Amino acid sequence: MTPPVLRPFHPRLCPSISPNTNRCTIEDFYAAKQPFRVVHPGPSIFPYQLSRCSDKAYTIEDTLDTSPALACILRRHNLSNANTGMRRIERQGSQPPWTGFPPDNDLRSKTVFLIESRESDPTTWQVAAQEIYEFLLTAGFEEDEVQVEIWNSKLVHELHSFFLPDDRKMLAAMRSVKPRVYEVVRRVLRDSWTAIAYHMTGPRQCESKAVPTVIVYCRPGSVEDFINAEREIASVLDEDRHPDVALHLEILPGSTGMAAPPAKEFNPEFAWRWLYKDGEDGPWNGTSVGPRGSTQSGSLGGWVGLQGESGEVMEYAMTCYHVASPGDTDNKDADDEYGIGLTGTLPLSPITMVCPSPVDEAETRKFILERPARESMEQFEDSISIIGNVEYGSGNRRRTDFGSRLDWALISSPNLSNSLRNRPPVAFCYDHDNSDFEGYVATHDPSHRLLKISDSQMAGQWVCKAARSGSCDGVINTMYRRVRWDDGFGETMELEVLPNWGKKWFCHESDAGSWVVNANREVVGMLVEMDEYSCGILTPLKDILEDIRRATGYRVSLLQPRGSF
């Protein structure tokens, strides 16, 4: 095999590294491979998203444009022509709930003075960042309240993940090293690794520059000798059975978690578009749901029917167990261990699911009161629904026959008058040249229903979904992700849905429970987990329904209303 490709490590950009042991944080290890993104003081936040900062930061920013001291520092380091401004930088992924802006000592979120340079020589950027930081302390910021970042967005290494193509040589090379990679990762990163994945990585807008990459994710904040770990994992990739394939290696901060957000995750711009639909009765596939009295939010997947020996079909809405379980905190440990309503038992306490979730209801009410809008409060209140009580739930310990994690809940939902139930995602949400997408649009009709549950080969399928955060499309990756769960569940192999070319994400945290649909209007599976890089973890719906059959004794099928197409 062609020697593996490793990005250079720059020790000067790794402040936490020990000169004796080479141990450092995973964040600093990643930052030391990014010479065109310099941060002071660290750690670097990655993967990140930018947002609005506090009023205090904007007030200080207004004084900086006329500061001769700041202008002098920028000029001395050839940064006079750079764009500057105050922003909030946050780590993607789940955040702890906080009121207002997060505390400035939170390692997942910082106020940042951002300097966007066009220069290609970053030699003095570290010194410049330190000098600017010291200046900001004299301008009104306290220590650890702000950090300085200098980057060149054209030269910084982009690390977006995409699906593996149907390239036999490349896939053979990846599959041949997979067992040994796992063996070495378990040995050299024993306490810190969280997942191993096999992706194409590269710039979001340039498919031709993407490269086949082995990615090892490590728990954020973990400290290891990552230099040696990288060397040992790379030695596995340097085999001679596939001389035409060069595999890249990345060790990144990251974890795979349940895809449901805290109360903070509400985007008011989506309030009208996704929380309810004008003139339609709710709920519908992908709508916001949550347990009454809880801050949890997720997405509704769709409707299934359970049929007993009498032939009567009972109607249930489906979402994830971890979306519903916060509705009964007193019995959560027991529900996690044994499930809800399984093996002939009754739920320990009723969990009532509502649409939209209580958080989204409160935020939408505030949105209506604070901003002019074409809809009224009365229209919104008419759309608020009680879906029903959770009668069955997987708990937190069940696996598929393949060994993947199961996470499902069924909500008694006998009223099938809603015209939006089990509709496929709308076609206008997707805007690229994928041939499967074109077929989906060509055959899409607003009155159509989801046809059946997919039992075909899933790897490489184009898929789409409608969920609380919106709609998006992606492709099911060819190789499974190995996940090491941090809640005692152990290790599993999971299907991934990765963003389509040019897209930043396939899912957000609030999308847990949403159904994923292919171009033939078949339900492929349910989104149950994700990582900080917006890649989704998918459980095939056929596996979920088989587990429901075993756990409840009922036959299970996709619910098809009369008159559906």
State the pLDDT at residue 126: 92
Q: Per DSSP, what are the bridge partners of residue 193?
A: 218
Sign of the CA dihedral with 469 first, then 391, 453, and 559 last: negative
Which has more confidence, 419 or 173? 173
pLDDT higher than threshold 70 for residue 101: no
State the pLDDT at residue 277: 53
Question: Is the pTM above the cut of 0.75?
Answer: yes
Tens-place pLDDT, residues 117-137: 999 999 999 999 999 999 999
Tokens of 368: 């209506």
Burial class (CB in 10 A: 0-12, 13-18, 19+), 305: middle
The 10 Å CB-count burial string (b at 16+, else e) for 86-107 is: bbbbbbbbbbeeeeebbebeee
Which has more confidence, 51 or 163? 163
Which has more confidence, 374 or 544? 544
Average pLDDT, the chain: 84
Three-state DSSP state, 174? helix
Average pLDDT for 56-72: 90
State the pLDDT at residue 300: 94
Q: How far apart are the first and last CA of the chain?
A: 52
Tens-place pLDDT, residues 151-197: 998 888 888 899 999 999 999 999 999 999 999 999 999 989 999 99
How many other C-beta atoms lie within 10 A of the C-beta of residue 160? Answer: 24
pLDDT tier at 272 (50, 70, 90 boundaries)? very low
User: Pairing state of beta strands 536-540 and 522-531?
Assistant: antiparallel
- Phi/psi for 41 (5° steps) reads -75, 155
pLDDT tier at 263 (50, 70, 90 boundaries)? very low
Average pLDDT for 380-402: 89
DSSP conformation class of 340: B
The answer to which of 359-363, 444-448, 525-529 has the lowest mean pLDDT is 444-448
Average pLDDT for 305-325: 92
pLDDT higher than threshold 50 for residue 87: yes
Task: Tell me if the bond preceding 43 is cis, omega within 30° of 0.
Answer: yes
pLDDT tier at 108 (50, 70, 90 boundaries)? low
- Phi/psi for 223 (5° steps) reads -120, 125
Q: Per DSSP, what are the bridge partners of residue 251?
A: 216
Tens-place pLDDT, residues 467-524: 888 888 899 999 999 999 988 889 999 999 998 877 778 888 789 999 999 888 889 9
**Which domains, from first to last, does the chain contain?**
34-151 (no CATH), 159-254 (3.30.300), 268-558 (2.40.10.10)
Average pLDDT for 261-266: 47
Tokens of 542: 């056929």
State the pLDDT at residue 170: 95
Tens-place pLDDT, residues 343-360: 778 888 999 999 888 988
State the pLDDT at residue 117: 92
Burial class (CB in 10 A: 0-12, 13-18, 19+), 277: middle
Residues 6+ apart with CB under 8 A from 206: none
Provide, rounded to the nearest whole percent, the portion of the chain with pLDDT above 90: 49
pLDDT higher than threshold 50 for residue 261: no
The 10 Å CB-count burial string (b at 16+, else e) for 1-25 is: beebebbeeeeebbbbbeeeebebb
- Phi/psi for 30 (5° steps) reads -65, -45
The answer to which of 236-245, 393-402, 540-549, 555-564 has the lowest mean pLDDT is 555-564
C-alpha closest to that of 510 among 333, 266, 268, 339: 266
